[in-house]
A = this chain, B = another copy of it.
Amino acid sequence: MTEAKIEADKELPIIRTTRDFEGTAEQLFRAHTDPELFQQWCGPDSTSVRIDHWDARDGGSWRYAAVRGDEEYRFRGCFHEVRPDRIVQTFTFEGAPDGVALETMTFEELGGGRTRLHIQSLVDSFEGRDAWLRGGMQTGVDEGYTKLDGLLARGAL
């Protein structure tokens, strides 16, 4: 399984995630904006995604639940900007409703049909940032992106 690079910025309360894909920027954009596609890959293998609301446009918003048996983990936010090379959105885990991240996703074409995904997650404290990192993002992120690799490989995008 390819590991995404997940790093804490040295000077800013930011987590930076980077991951390369065998797909175009346009395909990655669709994977992040089309709810039918998004729910097929997002999150760890042990959960499934149920989209409760999805309106991927400037000023739209989103809400989904990651479901594992009887447990649900709900997430919500608004789409500040949705454009082909960049998505800016807010992100809250509803279990900690006062915590809000500002996420900026960019799709960098590498040539040869490959694309590098960059995600910058900005929060308002180093403590909050480090709590996210300690929560163990790596497995869920990697399992999700591996599912996305599979969708790309079989032409589903």
Which residues from chain A sit less than 8 Å from chain B, CB to CB?
11-14, 53, 58-63, 76-81, 88, 90, 92, 97, 100, 102, 104, 120, 122-126
Contacts and interface: CB of A to CB of B under 8 A. Distances in A.
A14 to B, nearest CB: 7
Contacts of A61: 58-60, 78
B104 A90 contact: no
Count chain B CB atoms within 10 A of each CB in A58, A59, A100 and give the residue with the most: A59
Binding site of A, secondary structure by majority: helix, strand, loop or mixed? strand
Contact of A76 (B13, B14, B59): B59
A61 B125 CA distance: 25
Contact of A104 (B13, B80, B124): B124
Contact of A90 (B13, B102, B125): B102
A45 to B, nearest CB: 29
Given A81-B100, A90-B90, 17 more contacts: A12-B12, A12-B13, A12-B125, A13-B13, A58-B61, A58-B76, A59-B76, A59-B78, A60-B61, A81-B92, A81-B97, A88-B90, A88-B100, A100-B104, A102-B102, A102-B122, A104-B124
